[in-house]
Structure 1
Amino acid sequence: MRLSPRLIVPDPERASAFYQAALGAERVFSAPPGDDGRPSMIDHRVGGASFQVSPAVSAWGWLSPDDLGGSAVLLEVEVEDPDAVGERMTAHGAEVLVPIENRPYGKRSGRVRDPFGHLWIITGELR
């Protein structure tokens, strides 16, 4: 089994550029643009994981966090240096919701909202 989240966003090209810059994602495939000029899916890989971004299309029930009034999902990414990843994400437009710091449960973690409304827990080892 393979589980690959698909993030619904208003602008897949802009989102792809953000995830490449902020997370070091590799863009591995892009579907041809549809009638509205947006690709229906862009596939990415980060380490051994993959995820896609697709445009919001209300007729298909594909709604972005802004369409829903917030995100119903938390995406957790475990990295070697959570501080560096958090700094890259905020430098590219993410908003810090919970600062990255050592937590009593034995991890260094925090939470950000990316420019498209998706919520990310960034976690790693204590320092």
Structure 2
Amino acid sequence: MTKPQILPRLIVSEPDRASAYYRDFLGAEEVFRALGDDGRPTVVEHLLGATSFRVSPAVPAWGWLSPDDLGGSPVLLEIEVDDPDETGARMTDNGAETVVPIENRPYGKRSGRIRDPFGHLWIVTGEPR
């Protein structure tokens, strides 16, 4: 038996656009894509460092709802990077919104919270300046 692993799946209204955003502004590498009969992606898998995550379209009939469908995201995704300020700026310069500014925190990290253009919340964190 292989070791269990968690593969987060981000439900979005526009999987192609979301995949491009995560690739271009977070540095994720697309490693797998499955298309439905309509040519739209049903799942796009990304590798970000040693972590995989997937993006899929919202399908309300299956209970797959995007943060917009739910009125916000109930999940925080944390990404640890070398330069949180640069990553946060890249995200917000390209459609994301700052929820909590990136700054040095009393617990020894530099972090803040960003809502990406698809409604998912990211804690962007790294070493303090």
Instruction: Find the counterpart in structure 1 of residue 113 from structure 2.
Output: 111
State the shift of 1:113 in Å.
Answer: 0.2
State the shift of 1:34 in Å.
Answer: 3.5
**Amino acid of the structure 2 residue aligned with 1:70:** G
State the shift of 1:6 in Å.
Answer: 0.3
1:31-110 to 2 correspondences below 5 Å: 31-35=34-38, 37-110=39-112
State the shift of 1:10 in Å.
Answer: 0.4
State the shift of 1:52 in Å.
Answer: 0.4
Gapped runs of 5+ residues in structure 2?
none
Identity percentage of aligned residues: 69
Q: Aligned partners of 2:69 and 2:48: how far apart in 1?
A: 27
Superposed CA offset, 1:6-64 (max 9, x none) = 000001000001001110100111102343x4211000001101100000000000000
Instruction: Find the counterpart in structure 1 of residue 13 from structure 2.
Output: 10
Q: Aligned partners of 1:34 and 1:102: how far apart in 2?
A: 48
1:34–1:40 Cα contact (<8 Å) kept: no
Q: Aligned partners of 2:124 and 2:5: how far apart in 1?
A: 21
> Which runs of structure 1 show a deviation greater than 6 angstroms over 4 or more consecutive aligned residues?
none
Gapped runs of 5+ residues in structure 1?
none
Q: Aligned partners of 2:94 and 2:52: how far apart in 1?
A: 21
- Given the alignment of the two structures, is residue 26 of structure 1 paired with residue 21 of structure 2, yes or no? no
Indicate the larger mover: 48-57 or 86-95. 86-95
SS of residue matched to 2:41: coil
